[in-house]
Amino acid sequence: MTVRVGVIGTGAMGSSHARTLTDEVGSAAVSVVTDIDLVRAGEVAARTGARTAPDAAALIADPDVDAVLIASHDSTHAELVLACIAAGKPVLCEKPLALTVEDCVRIVEAERRTGRRYVSVGFSRRFDPAIVELREQVRRGAVGTPLLIHAAHRNVSTYAGDSAASVHSTAIHELDQIPWILGSPIVEVSWNAPRSTSLLPERQDPQLILLRTADGVLSTLEIFVNAVYGYDIRFEAIGETGTVALAPGGATVGTADLTRSTRIDADFIQRFADAYRRELTGWVASVRTGIADPDLAGAVDGLRATVVAHAVVDAISDPGRARAVAYPAVSEPGVSA
């Protein structure tokens, strides 16, 4: 059976996902697309052999849509996910699941009431081969008991927004990734910042976030959304007997002009192309078989990351002071192993 996917939002991420589903994922076809800019949606429809729907509600109700991929503005996610659950259609929603904790709770509760799994969240790092390998090494004790993590997340440039947007849209990846790697929830956060870059006056950039997980590991997380030089994701786990880190740079080394150099990706679509393909393949397979891919983040994972993001944003007003993270009861039981 071919899974007919409706794509809501055809900006950079949505159009990339539509292309990947069409060209690289077996048993999937993009059947309907929509966007607030219908011209842009029309271009993606023409490239993928889909048709356009006038709006998201029409797309979700469309009989030619078996499952929905949401890649529209973060502020639209909650209502669209709830509409998919109400329509009985599986949905893969880009991160964040929702901007408020209350909306995440509504989604978790609505899904629970159905007794079925409908919601997956686009925490694509869980599908990046190097990050998966790093997690396996940490889990099998290759570095001994983990003590510290150093993570950095740098973008060339960014979308409009304030310092909180850097947390909700960018840091959110690591807010999911760190507990997922350690198998331990984030229980305490604090925030600090150096002098801000002059190139992005409307927000604090970079930001330095400290995260403590229940196992006692402390993680430093640098978010630098206007780093200019390249898209650079760094991650090192330090244990009692060794460390494991993502290798820097690309696969090739160039030599010219008395210089040895490695390529740096321009953006997340390039850096995580493989992860997106694996994530979409896993999601389509779960829709086809009705058996959830265990690597796909679910609604509770989306809720937990948003809870931590809010704690970090609260911490911005009081740099250096640690604060505890309180999860709503609906997010129990603890972080999945």
Q: Which residues bind ligand ISE (CB under 6 A)?
A: 155, 169-170, 173, 225, 268
Q: Pick between residue 119 and residue 167 the one whose CB is nearest to ligand ISE.
A: 167
Q: Pick between residue 52 and residue 163 the one whose CB is nearest to ligand ISE.
A: 163
Q: Smallest gap, in angstroms, from Cβ of residue 237 to ligand ISE?
A: 20
Alpha carbon distance 246, 237 (integer Å): 9
The one-letter amino acid code at 215 reads D
Q: Pick between residue 268 and residue 283 the one whose CB is nearest to ligand ISE.
A: 268
Alpha carbon distance 24, 293 (integer Å): 18
Q: Smallest gap, in angstroms, from Cβ of residue 169 to ligand ISE?
A: 5
Alpha helices in the chain (DSSP H): 12-24, 38-48, 56-61, 77-87, 101-114, 129-139, 163-165, 172-182, 268-271, 273-289, 299-315
Alpha carbon distance 198, 204 (integer Å): 10
Q: Answer whether the bond into residue 328 is a cis peptide, omega within 30°.
A: no
Q: Pick between residue 159 and residue 188 the one whose CB is nearest to ligand ISE.
A: 159
Q: Pick between residue 95 and residue 212 the one whose CB is nearest to ligand ISE.
A: 95
DSSP-based three-state secondary structure for 135: helix
Q: Smallest gap, in angstroms, from Cβ of residue 321 to ligand ISE?
A: 26
Alpha carbon distance 265, 138 (integer Å): 26
Q: Smallest gap, in angstroms, from Cβ of residue 98 to ligand ISE?
A: 15
Q: Smallest gap, in angstroms, from Cβ of residue 173 to ligand ISE?
A: 6
Relative orientation angle of helices 101-114 and 77-87, to the nearest 10 degrees:
10
Q: Pick between residue 173 and residue 304 the one whose CB is nearest to ligand ISE.
A: 173
